A = this chain, B = another copy of it.
């Protein structure tokens, strides 16, 4: 079995990605980041899903991105609510952007992948129903793959790293349908940027709005609780 490192936040997208990698026959090495996010409930979700999918290992990696500040996800900046979202919202980058987050996460995943001799890294970025983050775009992923193969011993030796983005061109509703067909239990996922202490989603942040719209378009009811 080939090993795959899965960036697993505990959200809808990365959980679907884990299901896809499993379906492709990979042995799963899941990594989640405890980076001082306000929505830490997603880490508990990641744990449940890593167990559900029989991951070989699940690493929760501590990393303090709060010390830099600069994002509504890691500081007291207000999370925007009830904004009109369109596929073109990529023009504007919201305050929930965490500086260089995916660059940092992919780098650490790469370090782990190289150590365990995995060549495949899966990440749930999406270029359609997304929040406008620059580090979710295809050009960014391609540049990271190139970097990975220039900056590592395994890459230089010719064992190429591949960054897999199976959701890149899917709409949120298609992601949900795909996940359901592969056995994903979306009740075990969390997407809200500002859940209540009881883990109830707000239903108003960008992430909740995208998720709710996705379920609606897919023709299913989201199984998680909203306030």
Residues of A bordering B, CB below 8 Å: 59, 61-65, 67-70, 93, 97-104, 106-108, 110-112, 114-116, 134-135, 137, 139-140, 143-144, 146-148, 150-153, 155-156
Contact = CB atoms under 8 A, between A and B. Distances in A.
A24 to B, nearest CB: 24
Contacts of A137: 150
Given A68-B111, A69-B115, A103-B147, 20 more contacts: A59-B67, A62-B64, A68-B116, A70-B114, A98-B111, A99-B111, A99-B114, A99-B115, A100-B107, A101-B111, A103-B111, A103-B152, A104-B110, A134-B155, A135-B150, A137-B150, A139-B150, A140-B151, A143-B150, A147-B147
Given A93-B156, A151-B140, A68 B112 contact: yes
B115 A70 contact: yes
Contacts of A150: 134-135, 137, 139-140, 143
Main secondary structure of the interface of A (DSSP, over half): helix
24 contacts: A61-B64, A61-B67, A70-B114, A93-B156, A99-B152, A100-B107, A100-B110, A100-B151, A102-B151, A103-B110, A103-B152, A104-B107, A104-B108, A134-B150, A134-B155, A134-B156, A135-B150, A135-B151, A135-B152, A139-B150, A140-B147, A140-B151, A143-B146, A143-B151
A36 to B, nearest CB: 12
A144 B63 CA distance: 21
Given A104-B107, A104-B108, A147-B140, A153 B93 contact: yes
